[in-house]
Amino acid sequence: MEQPILSICIPTINRSEYLKKNLDTIVKQNAFLDGRVEVVISDNASTDDTKDIGTEYADKYENIRYYRNEKNISNDNFPLVISKANGIYRRLCNDTLLFKDDSLSAMCKIIESNQNEKLFLVWTSGRNCTEFYKTDFEGYLHTMSFWITSIACFGIWGSDCDGIAEDTYGTDLLLWQVRKGLELASKTNKVLIVNKDLTGGQTVKKKNISYGLYKIFYQNYFLLLQPYFDRGTLLAETREFLEKDLLFNFFMDWTIKWELGAKNLQYSKTEDLKEAVHQQYKDKDYWQEYCRQYKRRRIIVRLKETKNAVGRLIRR
């Protein structure tokens, strides 16, 4: 078999029902069936039937490979699964991702058209930019902001993968893809943001975010960014933009969910998210505006929840 153009690299643990739906959106597409796309699954010692699902699909399709870790290696599984791939380009993917019809062919064409220049490719949809937006490192941060934390946005050229299984700095911060993405984007300073509607997602039941949202998405996120500010690679104004965007467009909704006790989420038992955000941002000149927007948004969310609850009672 010829070298695949694209490797879909899926780290997974105890999400067999989501993994199966993910795979079903891949195996029916022409780019997979003709060998342009391979799938590599790295199972992080799941205790559900993930092994059965992975083995079933790997036995059926020669361009699906299933591996199982004997113990849970946490986010070290991210560089590990990439290291097991063979593609010209390797995309790290959530096990909950759903690939839309012909999306794999579209991705292969994008990869082939950029194979010589090897820009740092970023995968997204609905961002405030054109369908194909070329920018530099600073522009990458301004356009993507905290969305660089999503593993579905991250990919890497196979030629950049030497020794990647051991390249684990950032996995302990649960943001390996951020650290590696910053490294690659700053090195080339040529970024192509692919702003196309190629994938969808599945809602995870009782999603576990007990790692602490403030800890990961503020403390660890800016810990990884700080060297670039220290060296002057990124401007101080960029940090101000990122902090404000994170507050209004990430922490607001998550804090409201935390305050209202969203039943489909497993929050940290020790992190007071609202207080952590308050202490970090209370001296910012936009804090009062945030508080006003927060109150309005909280009322809207509460009314929506009440309406949904009434609807469920009526349907019974």
The pLDDT tens digits for 15-51 are 999 999 999 999 999 999 999 999 999 999 999 999 9
What is the structure's pLDDT at 305? 78
Q: Are the beta carbons of 7 and 107 closer than 8 angstroms?
A: no
Residue 209 contacts by C-beta under 8 Å, 6 or more apart in sequence? Answer: 265, 266, 267, 268
The DSSP-derived string for 92-110 is E--TTEEEPTTHHHHHHHH
The confidence band for 309, taking pLDDT boundaries of 50, 70 and 90, is low
Would you give the DSSP letter of residue 251? I
- Per domain, the residue ranges of the chain are 6-201, 207-315
CA separation for the pair 178, 147 (Å, rounded):
9
- Residue 264 confidence (pLDDT): 87
CATH class of 6-201: alpha beta
For 182-248, the DSSP string reads: HHHHHHH--EEEEE---EEE-PPTTEEETT-HHIIIIIIHHHHHHHHHHTTSS-HHHHHHHHHHHII
pLDDT attached to residue 22:
98
Rounded to an integer, the average pLDDT of 293-314 is 82
Angle at 94 between CA 242 and CA 86, to 5 degrees: 110
Mean pLDDT for the stretch of residues 223-232 = 98
Is the per-residue pLDDT at 310 higher than 80? no
* pLDDT tens per residue across span 95-139: 999 999 999 999 999 999 999 999 999 999 988 899 999 999 999
Tell me what pLDDT residue 263 has.
Answer: 84
Contact of 220 with 175, CB cutoff 8 Å: yes
Q: What is the reported pTM?
A: 0.94
Give the integer Cα–Cα distance in Å for 143 and 133. 9
Confidence (pLDDT) at 46: 98
What does the buried/exposed string (b/e) look like for 163-173 if buried means 16 or more CB atoms within 10 Å of the residue's CB? ebeebbebbeb
Which whole number is the average pLDDT over 291-308?
90
Region 272-288: mean pLDDT is 98
Specify the residue for token string 């948004």.
Answer: 297
CB 70 within 8 A of CB 169: no
Region at 25 (left for phi over 0; alpha for psi -120 to 50; beta for the rest): alpha
Amino acid found at 150: S
Q: Report the range of poorest mean pLDDT among 10-19, 248-257, 271-280, 305-314.
A: 305-314
pLDDT recorded at residue 97 = 97
Q: Report the alpha-carbon distance of residue 239 to residue 229 in Å, rounded.
A: 8
Contacts of 249 (CB under 8 A, 6+ apart): 145, 146
The pLDDT tens digits of the residues spanning 51-99 come to 999 999 999 999 999 999 999 999 999 999 999 999 999 999 999 999 9
Query: Has residue 239 got a pLDDT over 60?
Result: yes
Query: Are the C-beta atoms of residues 195 and 122 closer than 8 Å to each other?
Result: no
pLDDT at position 206 is: 87
Portion of the chain with pLDDT greater than 90, in percent: 91
